[in-house]
Every structure is written in structure tokens, then in C-alpha cells.
Copies of this chain bind each other. A is one copy, B any other.
Amino acid sequence: MLDLVIKDAKVFTSSGYFEGDVGVKGGKIVKIGDVQEQADRTLDVQGKYVVPGLIDGHTHMEFPFMGEVTADDFYYGTSAAVGGGVTTIVDFVTPSKGQDLLSAYQKWRETADPKVVSDYGLHMIIREVNPTVMEQIPEVMGRGVMSFKLYMAYKGELMVNDGEILKLVREISSHGGVVGVHAENGEIINELVQEYVVEGKVDPIYHYYSRPDEMEIEAANRVASIASLVKGVTMYQVHTSTGEAVDVMSSYRSRGMSYFNETTPHYLTLTLEALKRPDGYKYVMSPPLRSDDQRTKLWQKLASGEIYTVGSDHCVYSVSQKRRHREEVPSFHEIPNGVPGTETILPLLFYFGVKKGKISMERFVEVTSTNPAKLFGLYPRKGVVQPGADADFAVIDPAKRVKITPDVLHSNIDYTIYDGIEVEGWNVMTIRRGEVVMEEGQITSPRGSGVYVPGKPVK
């Protein structure tokens, strides 16, 4: 007796697709193919596309930053996730200044565990280097945190310097961990911000001008160059926004380095023009939105395999927060950086990517599920449709047309940066470890039903 059978599914995986049944027991996939056994629940998904539950490798829930805490707590944030077919998020533990890694990890667990609807994993941000931090790196890895994030920007806040990067790359790599980087030249950005502010150039578009393409490309080159001094690294540039930064990484990968990267749906679908809108402040995130030309390059590199994952960088602030609770729009440098995104990965990538012919369904599955699972040590528990894996699925109605508005989404904010965009293809059901957690827009699983999924060493 099975718990669940998905009948006559058209299943897409990172290596193709097949038609058949999927049998689930104890939250796991146990049978694939022609499944005759009885089950507690049988789902008929005729005409739908079944894909492995998405893994959003980049979220910031309940994240204190720039004087605000992000508006999506782990309940709202993971509700948005499962709304969009994301069955696992990987959130960034962000220690406060001076806090040690283990207690930050502990705090994140305690905050998330009672609230999460999706499953979740954790990355660790390292903002300062000291003996405690260095000692605790293997310890947090022992708790399933296999990937770290270093900032080359946000001077005075999160930024670490090049020497610290080298030290951290050495230490993390020696334990088989993944080194994520936010690659922008923070010194230059700091200087440009000051120059613009002094000149009274404070509209949101100056957020773009103060973070030029060149300074992402420069940082990508710098950190790759530094990492090349260490043997056996696994590097990972988050939220890559320029084609040339991707070229840098391709070139190192081509010479034998494990160098991966992520882009986000907003770089693939929006451009810097959004910052010129009256509500341009809503579109402030870092790195900033880029030119249409960069957008084209990113799609090409997503198709070519040079971009490894798509994560949302879900980092939500309410309108009031974005405006710092004032009437007038604040100076660009005071607007909290971040936009919503976890719930719209699926429809945006499916419609603008797959339907528009830019990427195949295989690439869709690969970048939204299989690759993040592998990179963050969640594979083969997550990211695949095969016996033994968690029964995590998104069920896409490929013909459903939806106009994106805040109403159809589950975040704890009343706007979306994709407002008014109409897509064809929508996630109509989300299955997490064999349980239907979202159906036709309704979250059907309680707070805290998600679990922490520790990562395993990749190498």
C-alpha cells in the first residue's frame, strides 16, 4: 500500500522526460513507471508537467539588514516558496557583528523550525575572520551547512578583504565546502555612492550608476584569481548579473576549476529601465538591474550551461520599509536592497525561458532543482525523480494564463516587481515529501511542517 501515486504523469527531469506513474511511500519516491499498487491518494495530472520540487538556493527570510528586517518571516517566505513550487529553500544564516557562527546557526534553526512550510537548508555568511570563526567552519559543516557566502561589497558591514577571502577559501575548501561570493567591488561602490550623494544625484537610478557592470566583472575576476591559488576549491558566484562575469568563470572552469554561478529571475526579465519608474525604489537590489544587452547575454549563458543555478535572492521589504517609512523616496543608498522572488522563479523561467524557446525543460529542471541540490549537498535526497529521493514535486499547468499581481502571491507584502506581467504556465500544485502542501493557490500544510535538510559534503 502506497501513500500516493501520481498517475500518467509527464515528468521532466534534468536529463529529459518520461511518461508514467510515480509511487510514494514514507515521503520518498519508491516506484517509477507502471505502478499498479493501491495508494491512499491518487493524483491525476493529465496534461500537466511534473517537475522535481524547485530548490531556491538564495533566500533571506527574517533578515536584519540596513536597519530593517525583511518582511517575509519563515512562514510567509516559505508559503511564497511552496506557492511557486519551491519545496526547499536554502537560506542565509547571517551572524550579527561579533556573533559566532554556531550561535547564529542555532538562532536560525530556532527561528525557522517552527515556521517553515517548505523544507530548508542553510548557508552561512562570514563577515569577519577571527579564530572562533575559523574553528567553527568545520563545526557548522558538521551541522549540514556546506556552503558559505563572502561579500566583496557592503564596505563596513559585510565586506571581507582579499586576504580574508584567501584565508576563508583555504579553510572552507580543505573541508570540502562551497565558497559563495557576492562579487562587486565594495570600495569603488562606496566611493561612487559618496560622489553621487555629494552631487545630489540620489534618485533610484543612481543605484545602478554607483554599481557599474565593470565592478562586478572586476570582482569576479579578482576572486577567481585568488581562488586559483588554492587547490580543490568549489566556488560559486551568487546573483551574477553580467555576461562578462560569467565569461570569467567559464574560463576558469575550462581550465579545471570547479566554478559555478547563479543568476536570478529579475536579471533575466527586467532591466535598469525599471529604476527610472516613479516606483523605481521597489526595484533596488544588488547587484542592480542591468541593460537589455546583459539580459540577452544571461539567457544565452543560461542556455549554454555556463550559468549553473537560478535562485531568487528573495529579500523582501514592504513599501514602507523600502521608503524608510517616509513620505518622499529616500536617497538610493538608503533604500534597503532586495526584492521578492521565490514564488515567481517558476512562472518566469517557464514562460520567458521555456515557452519563448530560450531554454529547454531539461535546463529548467537542472538550474532550478538538480544543480542546486548537487551544489549544496542535498542530492540525491533532493533535486531528482528517482527511487529513494524525497517526493518533492511542482505540478505545472503549461496552458494556464495568469496575470501576476500581489493577489496571486503569498508574500507578506502588497506589491510585486512583476505586477501586471502575464504569463502562460503556472504552478498548480506543490508536493513536499509526498504531501500536497499547495493546491490551486491554497497553502495546505501547517507552519513548521517543513524540515531542515542538512547538506552533505559534495567531495
On A, residues with C-beta under 8 Å from B are 13-20, 23, 29-35, 161-164, 166-167, 185, 187-188, 190-192, 212, 214-215, 217-218, 221-222, 225-226, 228-229, 246-247, 250, 253-256, 300-301, 303-306, 366, 370, 374, 379-380, 384, 386-389
Contacts and interface: CB of A to CB of B under 8 A. Distances in A.
Contacts of A222: 185, 218, 221-222
Contacts of A250: 250, 254
A191 B226 CA distance: 11
A28 to B, nearest CB: 9
Given A34-B31, A188-B163, A190-B163, A228 B254 contact: no
Contact of A300 (B228, B256, B386): B256
A13 B218 CA distance: 38
A373 to B, nearest CB: 9
A221 B218 CA distance: 7
Contact of A370 (B15, B31, B221, B380): B15
Nearest to A11: B386
Given A18-B386, A19-B388, A304-B254, A187 B163 contact: yes
A16 B229 contact: no
A17 B380 contact: yes
Nearest to A255: B300
B300 A254 contact: yes
A201 to B, nearest CB: 15
Given A163-B190, A192-B229, A214-B229, 11 more contacts: A20-B386, A30-B33, A31-B31, A31-B33, A33-B387, A162-B188, A163-B187, A166-B188, A166-B191, A247-B254, A254-B306
A261 B192 CA distance: 27
A303 B387 contact: no
* Total copies of the chain: 4
A388 to B, nearest CB: 5
Contact of A187 (B16, B161, B190, B387): B161
Contacts of A166: 187-188, 191-192
A161 B253 CA distance: 29
Contact of A386 (B16, B229, B303): B16
A184 to B, nearest CB: 11
Contacts of A379: 16
A205 B19 CA distance: 52
Nearest to A299: B256
Given A16-B379, A386-B18, A256 B304 contact: yes
A254 B299 CA distance: 10
Contacts of A161: 187
Contacts of A226: 185, 188, 218
Contacts of A388: 18-20
Nearest to A28: B33
The 5 closest A-B pairs by CB, nearest first: A163-B191, A162-B187, A33-B387, A20-B387, A31-B33
A358 B16 CA distance: 25
Contacts of A304: 253-254, 256
Given A161-B187, A191-B163, A305-B305, A387 B214 contact: no
Contacts of A306: 254
B187 A34 contact: no
A280 to B, nearest CB: 23
B18 A15 contact: no
7 contacts: A16-B386, A163-B188, A167-B191, A215-B225, A218-B221, A218-B225, A253-B305
B16 A384 contact: yes
A413 B102 CA distance: 58
B30 A31 contact: no
B256 A19 contact: no
A217 B248 CA distance: 14
Contacts of A15: 13-15, 366, 370, 384
A143 to B, nearest CB: 24
A228 B214 CA distance: 8
A250 B190 CA distance: 28
A379 B222 CA distance: 37
A286 B348 CA distance: 47
A425 to B, nearest CB: 20
A125 B374 CA distance: 40
